[in-house]
Amino acid sequence: MLWGSAPALLAQLVTGWAAAAGGPWYQALPYVTKLYILNGTSLLLLLIPVSVAYAFGKYRLLEVESRLKRGTRLVLVTGGAVLVLLLVCALIYLGSSRLLPLLGIGGDVPPIAIAMVLAFGFLPAQRSLRRSLENRIYPERLRLQATLHEFLLQSHVSRAFWTELARRLRDSIGASAVFPLLRRRDALVYAVECCELAPFKAGDQFGQALLNARHPLLVDEMVASGRIPLTDPQKAWLAERAAALIVPLETVSGLRGFLVVGERLSGDDYTPEELEILRALSPQIALVAETIELLEERTERQRLDDEIRMARGIQEGLMPRELPPTPGLESAARIRFCGDVAGDYYDVIALADGRTLLAVGDVTGKGLGAALIMSNLQAALRAMNGVGLSLAEVVARINTLIHDNTPDDLFITLFVALYDPATATLSYVNAGHDPPLVCAYDGNVTRLPATGLLVGVFPGAMYDQRVLHLNPGDLVLFYTDGATEAMNDEEEELGDDRLARMVADNRSAPVAALLTAIEDGVKAFHGGRPLHDDMTLVAIRRLSAGESGAVS
């Protein structure tokens, strides 16, 4: 429009100034030359309607047109209401001024009081009258607003809300279709179907343009003008659905999504009043959508919490509540979860031949995945302990089972031991686990190193089985790295040496008291904060002849 109007206006200005400044020179020009100049400047004026027509054809300018219509109607309605009220106020004031003397009431105070009452009541009366006139002139606006407002005040669930909202919008404004798109993480998906991803991202240029616009946008203007960037997949997606309007759904937390409104079934354009109502109601729709989403997230979180509590109860039930008694052996065990469920594992199993199987494991990672793998490990170990295999063969088979049935980034450190009270020997396999501490009666501490790789790393891995003879008073502590990797405020780990000193200092205490002392020492070192990893402790001590043992 600027390129169409500027040449004509400039030509008129130049011609006028040339005629005024040239004077006799311009008058001396031949008549034909003046006629050419006049016709040329006049023809340039034709570019103005041509440019306006081109702008309406390319950009449609319906948004500007709707604002002009809305503004014109507002001025007319407001002006009419003001004129009517002024006439009414004038009649009341003049009538009261003449009526008061007839009633014998004189002075300036009564007319002033009447004028003040009229002045204070003018604005409320003007608003009420204008609202009444607008409702009579635009009854469809009142019906649409009442229908949607009443609907938004009801309680909803997500799918039913969007289905009913789409139906009401279709019925109220005659839209061919309504597609609600909501933000799910960084993508926008159908709110009704909740399965098809649309080619829009919450943080892309289009989403940012919607956030800045904050009012319904006409799709044909967006596509034709290019003022709001659209990718080819986005244009195709909107074209397939005959989209006519896009209504942003914005709350204080940002853009929640938008409504894609199809063309009217009648073929007419949407009126400025309908666009204004959609603009006014879109924040309410967005707020309801956000509330529904928060409630559903809360419900889902509560359901997950209930399932996790159930899983924790099941996992705690899988651990032996009371350790089976073993002749000549005192034993105790503790496990502390850092989260809702644990990836640590311990087991103490009394075998039919009088021997006792002990196991301590640690699954990499935390959460439900680690807890499930731990449960599989326990089931596999219990299933294989009675098939006549050596400890090394049992661990090798468990290694293959775990490798074949778990992700590559999950593995297990495992220590399995078999105590024979007849020979006072402890046969063991250490599959990459923290080396258990062996504390002799005199306080000397040694460690049981690894005899093979972690479980689940390589299929077909082989493991060595070793034997340790326990003397009366000898103490063995099996543990997971939740104890040794506890950190103080200086981010220094507790470490194996401090743990060994705790064992040596409390070697004469009952094993249950020993584990309590270790727990207290870890908490004191860690500063009383919650642990970042599960901690499991299992302790056994060989008793002297005639000494009775305890289990806990």
pLDDT digit string, tens, across residues 279-296: 877 888 878 777 777 777
Please answer whether residues 56 and 269 qualify as being in contact, where contact means their C-beta atoms are separated by less than 8 angstroms: no
Query: Is 306 or 523 the better-scoring residue by pLDDT?
Result: 523
Distance CA(41)–CA(9), nearest Å, equals: 9
Distance CA(110)–CA(209), nearest Å, equals: 59
pLDDT digit string, tens, across residues 233-258: 888 888 888 888 988 888 777 778 88
Fold designation for 321-542: Phosphatase 2c; domain 1 (3.60.40)
Rg (CA), the chain: 43
List, in order, residues 6 or more apart from 204 with CB less than 8 Å away: none
**What phi and psi values does residue 372 have, to the nearest 5 degrees?**
-65, -45
283-to-76, 201, 286 alpha-carbon distances in Å: 28, 20, 5
For the chain, give the mean pLDDT: 79
Task: Supply the pTM of this predicted model.
Answer: 0.56
**What phi and psi values does residue 417 have, to the nearest 5 degrees?**
-135, 155
pLDDT digit string, tens, across residues 103-137: 665 555 555 566 666 555 656 666 676 666 555 55
Domain ranges of the chain: 2-137, 139-296, 321-542
Tell me if residue 21 falls in helix, strand or coil.
helix
Question: What is the mean predicted confidence (pLDDT) over 542-549?
Answer: 72
Percent helix / strand / coil, the chain, rounded to 5: 50, 20, 30
> Domain 139-296 sits in which CATH superfamily?
GAF domain (3.30.450.40)
Distance CA(305)–CA(298), nearest Å, equals: 10
Query: Among candidates 378, 383, 390, 345, which has minimal Cα distance to 363?
Result: 345
Backbone conformation region of residue 174, classed left if phi is above 0, alpha if psi is from -120 to 50, else beta: left
Cα angle for residues 101, 107, 108 (degrees, 5° grid): 115
Name 178's bridge partners.
Answer: 261
Distance CA(412)–CA(225), nearest Å, equals: 61
DSSP notation for 507-541: TTS-HHHHHHHHHHHHHHHHTTPPPSS-EEEEEEE
Q: How confident is the model at residue 314 (pLDDT cuts 50, 70, 90)?
A: low
The pLDDT value recorded for residue 451 is: 95
Name 250's bridge partners.
Answer: 255
